Amino acid sequence: MTVSYVLAAGQAQVGDLVQAARLVSDQVVALVVGPEAVAQRVAQAGLDQTLWLGEPGPLALEAFAPALAEIVRARPGHIWATRRPADRVLLGAAAAAIEAALVVGPTEVTAQDGLTLVTAPVNGGLALSTVAFTGPVALLMDGGAAPDGPAGAVQPVSGPTASIQLVESQPSVGQTVDLTAATRVVGIGGGLKAASDLPLIEDLAQALGAAVGCSRPVAEGLGWLPKDRYIGLSGAHIAPQLYIAVAISGQLQHMAGCRQADTIVAINTDPAAPIMAQADYVLAGDLYQLAPALTRALAG
Amino acid sequence: MTIAVIYKWAPDAQEASVDTAGRVDFSRAKAQISDYDAVAIQVGRQLADATGQGLVGLTVSGPAGGQPAATKAALARGLDSVLVLADDGLDRLGPSAAASLLAGLVGQLDEVGLVLAGDSSIDVGARMTPALLAGQLGWACLTDVERLDGSASQWSAQRTQPWGVETLSLTGPAVVALSPTAAPLKAPGMKDILAAGKKPVRLVGLAELGLTEPAAGQLKATAHLTGPSRQGVVIDVSDPDAAAQALVAALGQAGLLIEGRA
């Protein structure tokens, strides 16, 4: 009988993990680190077992990595987790304990003739590959919604912990932007002539109710925007309803981060720029004329 | 005591190309020490100086990673020495295999209590090697760390989460992955580059360490990644205001704007 473990660290948004795990395993067991309320919510996913590591107290979620490794080592199976920092650490410990191969962002996982076939983006999203594994696989993907089925049993368990303590947590004072959660995003690229021109884009974003993102050079080379605003291969992978790419050429490496947007608008002076062939609406013109015009049109 | 920094001599995925069958080609991309790794080395240098420890770089690579160009590039960033596991077939390792072999390299060091890593590799980009390495070693692990202070076995880390700034304490051996903002990047100067040529380099192979290349899955197929199909509606921009109005009308009709706009 095959088993899959779904890791939940401090939050219960693991609905998609449970659903995917069921397709390739006879049993699905949740391993929950964090408050009991999270374990109870996870248990609503109709799992075979929900194991809860107990109230963390002063311990950081990552401190429970040795306990998870011990559980998985006793009965190896596939391991599923989200991309959040604590989940990655817990997944790493559990995967290393059983020498599981790692796959990030699987788009399809199937079981066939004793093999597990996993299709996933490679090199941050440059292409897709399908790989067959004979042993357990550790899979890192978006978690989906918190389950809302009938209440299930929560079984407390204990195990060794690492010495990592949360000393202090202070609410953010600066503005942090989660581009991956934004409904609308305006991205700015190398066609912007100066950092002092950014208000043109910020005004458009404000009129649109959108977050501001950028291509890699704007964040990492020019440093005009924080690095968490970079959309692309090694940056944010966004899937908003609307993405307006302003003065972004649309190289493969940028598109890897935004190709899942429902609607893409491209504004670029170069009608032959790659993004023009990958957009729903194409405006081959100057951002310095079109961005203010759009802001006015939205305000009007 | 020693502080170790894992790094990778690898080409940037930004420079890779993809053929029509979805095969990724790195042959024209130039290998380098990434900014992510440079930040980790810089933080390691600061900690090593502050605590009187040595700073050694660890890497697993194909033969190119053991060449002087590669080792000098790493050493010029501030490492005291490097230990390089370079062997045929270790070029395109996945994070699990890389972490397993890096754990073997950590085992070669005396009294190492802290392993630092960059936020991500520039070719694979999975952001999982530090966590897998910690799992292999049975050590504590934190990622996304923006500030790290401490002594031989007691560390204080700070990181920003969506809900705020966390301060954490770690005791005992640990693997810490650093955010790109953990240190300002400084390009090596001529003095650093010249000094790098005189620093110790230890090259080892799999056989020498008694290691074997970890098994990987079998590649069955490659393909292009695609997103939703696109409409490709061209809007005439000869009059910018009219173009903007046309776009806003289309977006409004598609229900993509905030209610009340357009």
pLDDT 10s digits, A52-72: 999 999 999 999 999 999 999
Whether B199 and B241 share a structural domain: no
Residues B152 and B242 grouped into a single domain:
no
* B128 and B243 inside one domain: no
- Report which of B83, B5, B68 is spatially closest to residue B41, judged by C-alpha positions: B5
Of A91, A220, A241, nearest to B131 by CB-CB distance is A91
Buried/exposed B171-194: b ≥16 CB within 10 Å, e otherwise: eebbbbbbbbebbeeeebeeeeee
A1 pLDDT band, cuts 50/70/90, is: confident
Asked if residue B239 and residue B151 are part of one domain, the reply reads: no
Question: What's residue A174's pLDDT?
Answer: 55
CATH no. for residue B118? 3.40.50.620
List all residues of chain A from 46 to 65 with a beta carbon under 8 Å from chain B.
60, 62-63, 65
Both B19 and B77 in one domain: the answer is yes
| Encoded tokens for B13 | 């995925």
Q: What is the pLDDT of residue B260?
A: 53
What is the spatial distance between Cα B85 and Cα B107, in angstroms, rounded to a whole number? 13
Mean pLDDT of chain A: 93
| pLDDT higher than 90, residue A138 | yes
Can you tell me the distance from the alpha carbon of B34 to that of B180, in angstroms, rounded to the nearest whole number? 11
Question: Within a domain: residue B27?
Answer: yes
Residues B238 and B191 in one domain: no
Nearest CA distance, A283 vs chain B (angstrom): 5
- Distance between CA atoms of residues A277 and A252, nearest Å: 12
**Domain presence at residue B79:** yes
Cα dihedral: A197, A199, A204, A206 (round 10): 160
Does the pLDDT of residue A243 top 90, yes or no? yes
Give the pLDDT mean for A255-268.
Answer: 93
CB contact under 8 A, B144 and A85: yes
* Chain segment A160-190, per-residue pLDDT in tens: 999 999 999 987 655 667 788 899 999 999 9
Is the CB of A169 less than 8 angstroms away from the CB of B166? yes
Q: CA B6 → CA A93, A263, B41, distances in Å? A: 18, 40, 9
Q: Chain B within 8 Å of A121 (Cβ-Cβ)?
A: yes
Domain boundary among B165, B183, B209: B209
Is residue B219 domain-resident? no
Cβ distance A296 to B244 less than 8 Å, yes or no, reads yes
Interval A248-266 mean pLDDT: 90
* DSSP classification of residue B20: T
Residue B218 resides in a domain: no
| B104 and B57 both lie in a single domain | yes
Q: Is A108 on the interface with B (CB under 8 A)?
A: no
Residue with the larger pLDDT of the pair B171 and A216: B171
Q: Give the chain B residue whose CA is nearest to the CA of A299.
A: B261
Cα B132 from Cα B130, distance rounded (Å):
5
Pairing mode of beta strands A164-171, B164-171: antiparallel
Tell me whether residue B222 is in a domain. no
Percent of chain A with pLDDT over 90: 76
Residue B8 is assigned to a structural domain of this protein: yes
Indicate yes or no: CB of A167 within 8 angstroms of CB of B168. Answer: yes
Spatial contact of B103 and B85, defined as CB atoms under 8 Å apart: no
Q: Are B11 and B56 in a shared domain?
A: yes
d(CA B258, CA B248): 11
Going by C-beta distance under 8 Å and a sequence separation of 6 or more, which residues neighbour residue B127?
A83, A88, B119, B120, B143, B177
Question: What does the pLDDT look like over A72-108, one tens digit per residue?
Answer: 999 999 999 998 889 999 999 999 999 999 999 899 9
Q: Looking at CA atoms only, how far is residue B52 from chain A in angstroms?
A: 24
CB-based contact (8 Å) between B28 and chain A? no
Q: State the pLDDT at residue B18.
A: 83
Say whether both B196 and B243 belong to one domain.
no
Whether the pLDDT of residue A296 is over 70: the answer is yes
Radius of gyration from C-alpha coordinates of chain A: 22
CB contact under 8 A, A65 and B141: yes
The answer as to whether B221 is a domain residue is: no
Residue B262, pLDDT score: 47
How much is the average pLDDT of A5-34? 96
pLDDT of A223 reads: 81
Mean pLDDT in residue range A102-126: 90
Q: For B64-115, give the DSSP string.
A: GGGSHHHHHHHHTTT-SEEEEEE-TT-TT--HHHHHHHHHHHHTTSSSEEEE
B72 part of a folded domain? yes
B134 with B166, same domain: the answer is yes
Domain count within chain B: 2
* CB atoms near residue A214 (< 10 Å): 33
| Mean pLDDT per 10-residue interval, chain B, length 262 residues | 94 81 85 92 96 96 94 97 94 89 94 93 86 97 94 88 86 93 89 95 92 79 80 96 97 85 50
Domains of chain A: 3-156 (3.40.50.620), 179-299 (3.40.50.1220)
Q: Does B8 touch chain A (CB under 8 A)?
A: no
3-state DSSP percent of chain A in helix, strand and coil, to 5: 35, 30, 40
Domain that holds residue B233: 227-262
- Whether residue B121 sits in one domain with residue B7: yes
Q: Note whether B26 and B131 are same-domain residues.
A: yes
What pLDDT is recorded for position A214?
A: 96
Cα–Cα distance measured from residue A144 to residue A16, given in angstroms and rounded to the nearest whole number: 5
Any A CB within 8 A of B80 CB: no
Question: Please, are residues B129 and B98 in contact by the beta-carbon 8 Å criterion?
Answer: yes
